[in-house]
Chains A and B, each alone.
Chain A
């Protein structure tokens, strides 16, 4: 008996490090939220945390046989391709997706049947994205990839449950997209929650600033994107001193700059598209304001550097991948992409490439059945930790990508990438 007890004691001593290890893997806060800024944490335990568990799809359909005599395996693409300020990004996204398809077809397609991209522009009259998903359903796509604009992504997403089409989002960082609980969507790009937390940590904890003024675009990207940053600032004890908006396409920002001056901030945060932000930065500097400027992911753009020129120096932004990483997979992609399209891939191209490769792999694994493709995409095993050209993709139970987010700083007219402070706060 004593021997047994000894052995047991001994075993526990030996196992201690194992428990320690698992202890480190304690339940993470939803969305990698740093402990400090978990909502209501200081006041009240939530009655329910919705994303502690995954939402299963319990409907039928997995038993459906694949169609016979298919001449192509169709995959949908939904993105801004005409009539929007996001067209350059949309085209990059299309290129990335198309490259993945072309490579897959070189590799034999799906059992010898070529994949075909069914391309749709999401810019149109009033809720066009919904109509486009209906069109894709008519075309018989097995899954689709899209899109960038938050409104269009949401509108498209709502159709996926009704039509039962797997959707991969690779370009919309709207946090609420995956918070809808529709088990037909996965996202393979870090969201604005990650951007916001990274910026907040950097601004308040690394840089020691405390009075941030926000200037944001008056659209869904600006409104939803800033929400997490605003709340994080508040919970960190640094409520925003100003939140002021501008309209898409604005070129004169006198009023906004005046309000910045009036608010006496010690940091400026811009949340919007590169075009207006570039002009805004120029005008801020021209007004003699020398405060540090921080920005959302879309400010990491050659377009911004071109517009803002030297005034962009010191700008710090987030970015959902690091194109400078010394990763052979990434390097190969960048080379193939450049060879194929004659331009450098941007963040949308890279994520679309990863997303489309995931769709292709899911189809190859599950066969031609949307339900089983969905299962493969969402089983939290097949693609958990997927190593793409954008890095390692980690899904949380809402199928949101909570993998690393990067930060950049403009130095000598170039974006210099560095790790987000979140990387040291949370275990990946």
Chain B
């Protein structure tokens, strides 16, 4: 009886343990349904990207693997300690021999190996700078800030605001120069300033195919202006006919994408860039590519794209550069070359993806942070604006 009791006790204990184990795991799984899916997805993503490991950062290997895609390395980063006014760099623009960086605490200019800072005390509209462009015609620098649009011309600052000019809103998410026109995407509409005619024309929901006036990005190309309209997809403006047309997500749903290649992946667009007949559109839900006839959608789950959360895009010839919250992706339609910083040290890795095949090459250097906000190129240099500094890379030959 005592034996039976002991045996029974043991069995009951095992049984209870088994039940509890299963039950616990069931509940845990359920909890993960909501709580941990994001992290789990990240982990899976990271594992997928990391496999298979390559043979180390050999410029020969990575170059061979990348084919015609440019590959950058030998990164050097600059932060507040190096002379930047703030670590957070929203944008970067190369202007001849100097590099202009829009930070959260002013305009930083890198020239002759030194950083110089310009702030509101110098005449800047506001110290947080979201976008910079340089007029090829005049050399004037146009600076989009959170408090107005500043023209920086030969050392002098002049600011356009929504109160002293036709500017739609003082928060300038994007500014570009297109000949004599300066285009802006603002929190209250997009528009352009004709510097010759001294005339503003702004586009909002009452005079353009936008549901709302919120715009996030603007680019020029092929005689057209493309505006990333937050919630309104992409608005195309033909500079010759002065007509608009819009591109939206065909499925009309915010929470899903039915087909990846049927049009824009989402109506919440965060950036646009055009080069060589191709329009690249960034969203917080993936990347869209449009050659004037066909759309293609790219996501982190089905391509080399590092993350669906895209802060900025920039086209350079056939290559699109995608600034994401998990690193920098580049893509020419065939090959992905991605850059990620290691979280624990200054090194990073270069990931080259062809189709479903990804090879990883450790890199002894990397950029300042994986939260990439801007990128620009000149010659063999690449500059990257990140949330924790600005970095310069050199093209590997």
CB–CB under 8 A between A and B in the complex? yes
A residues whose Cβ falls under 8 Å from a Cβ of B: 7, 10-11, 14-15, 18-19, 21-22, 25, 27, 30-31, 39-40, 44, 46-61, 125-127, 129-131, 134, 137, 151, 154-155, 158-159, 162-163, 175-176, 179-182, 220, 223, 379-381, 384, 396-397
Known: A154-B214, A158-B216, A181-B285. A53 touches B41 (CB 8 A): yes
Q: Can you pick out 10 interface pairs between chain A and chain B where the beta carbons lie within 8 Å of each other?
A: A7-B18, A14-B15, A50-B266, A54-B38, A60-B387, A127-B186, A158-B173, A159-B171, A181-B285, A384-B35
Query: Once the chains bind, are B30 and A58 in contact (CB under 8 Å)?
Result: no
From A30, A47, A54, A56, B255 is in contact (CB under 8 Å) with: A30
CA distance A159 to B326 in the complex (A): 20
Query: Once the chains bind, are A381 and B162 in contact (CB under 8 Å)?
Result: no
Query: Once the chains bind, are A127 and B387 in contact (CB under 8 Å)?
Result: no
CB-CB nearest 9 A-B residue pairs: A127-B188, A54-B38, A130-B187, A59-B371, A127-B169, A46-B256, A179-B254, A181-B284, A130-B171
Cβ of B231: which chain A residues have Cβ within 8 Å of it? 154, 176, 180
Query: Once the chains bind, are B230 and A181 in contact (CB under 8 Å)?
Result: no
Cβ of A59: which chain B residues have Cβ within 8 Å of it? 325, 369, 371, 387-388
Query: Once the chains bind, are B309 and A181 in contact (CB under 8 Å)?
Result: yes
Known: A15-B22, A155-B187, A397-B34. A39 touches B251 (CB 8 A): yes
Beyond A11-B15, A158-B216, 17 additional contacts (C-beta under 8 Å) are A39-B255, A47-B257, A48-B285, A50-B285, A53-B41, A55-B284, A58-B371, A59-B371, A126-B169, A129-B187, A130-B146, A130-B171, A131-B147, A159-B187, A180-B230, A384-B35, A397-B38
Cβ of B26: which chain A residues have Cβ within 8 Å of it? 18-19, 21-22
What number of A-B contacts does a CB cutoff of 8 Å give?
Answer: 181
B126 on interface, CB distance cutoff 8 Å: yes
Cβ of A223: which chain B residues have Cβ within 8 Å of it? 211
Cβ of B371: which chain A residues have Cβ within 8 Å of it? 58-60
Query: Once the chains bind, are A176 and B42 in contact (CB under 8 Å)?
Result: no
Query: Once the chains bind, are A7 and B42 in contact (CB under 8 Å)?
Result: no
**Contact residues, B318-362 vs A (CB, 8 A):** 325-326
B68 on interface, CB distance cutoff 8 Å: no
Known: A18-B23, A47-B257, A158-B214. A53 touches B38 (CB 8 A): yes
B199 on interface, CB distance cutoff 8 Å: no
A175 to chain B, nearest CB (A): 7
Query: Once the chains bind, are A7 and B14 in contact (CB under 8 Å)?
Result: yes
CA distance A130 to B90 in the complex (A): 17
From A51, A158, A379, B187 is in contact (CB under 8 Å) with: A158
A217 to chain B, nearest CB (A): 15
Q: Which residue from chain A places its CB closest to the CB of B170 in the assembled complex?
A: A131
Query: Once the chains bind, are B171 and A49 in contact (CB under 8 Å)?
Result: no
From B147, B188, B255, B256, A134 is in contact (CB under 8 Å) with: B147
Query: Once the chains bind, are B214 and A55 in contact (CB under 8 Å)?
Result: no
B299 on interface, CB distance cutoff 8 Å: yes
B114 on interface, CB distance cutoff 8 Å: no
A49 to chain B, nearest CB (A): 5
CA distance A125 to B11 in the complex (A): 75
Query: Once the chains bind, are A158 and B170 in contact (CB under 8 Å)?
Result: no
Query: Once the chains bind, are B38 and A56 in contact (CB under 8 Å)?
Result: yes
From B15, B27, B173, A7 is in contact (CB under 8 Å) with: B15
Query: Once the chains bind, are A125 and B162 in contact (CB under 8 Å)?
Result: yes
Query: Once the chains bind, are A58 and B326 in contact (CB under 8 Å)?
Result: yes
Most-contacted residue by chain B among A22, A47, A220 (CB, 10 A): A47
Can you list, as one digit per residue, whether each of B296-331 has a CB less than 8 Å from chain A (1) or not (0)? 000101000001010000000000000001100000
Query: Once the chains bind, are A158 and B309 in contact (CB under 8 Å)?
Result: no
Known: A47-B259, A47-B260. A54 touches B15 (CB 8 A): no
B233 on interface, CB distance cutoff 8 Å: no
Known: A14-B19, A49-B256. A131 touches B171 (CB 8 A): yes
CA distance A380 to B37 in the complex (A): 11
Cβ of B212: which chain A residues have Cβ within 8 Å of it? 151, 154, 220
**Contact residues, B265-290 vs A (CB, 8 A):** 266, 268, 284-286
Cβ of A50: which chain B residues have Cβ within 8 Å of it? 254-257, 266, 285
B97 on interface, CB distance cutoff 8 Å: no
Q: Which residue from chain B places its CB closest to the CB of A3 in the assembled complex?
A: B11
**Contact residues, B13-43 vs A (CB, 8 A):** 14-15, 18-19, 22-23, 26-27, 29-30, 33-35, 37-39, 41-42
Can you list, as one digit per residue, whether each of B232-272 has a CB less than 8 Å from chain A (1) or not (0)? 00000000000000000001011111111000001010000
From B18, B188, B214, B268, A11 is in contact (CB under 8 Å) with: B18
Known: A22-B27, A380-B34. A130 touches B284 (CB 8 A): no
Cβ of A60: which chain B residues have Cβ within 8 Å of it? 87, 369, 371, 387-388
B289 to chain A, nearest CB (A): 16
From A44, A46, A154, A220, B230 is in contact (CB under 8 Å) with: A154
CA distance A127 to B27 in the complex (A): 46
Cβ of A39: which chain B residues have Cβ within 8 Å of it? 251, 253, 255-256
Most-contacted residue by chain A among B27, B34, B168, B216 (CB, 10 A): B34
A231 to chain B, nearest CB (A): 9
Cβ of B90: which chain A residues have Cβ within 8 Å of it? 162
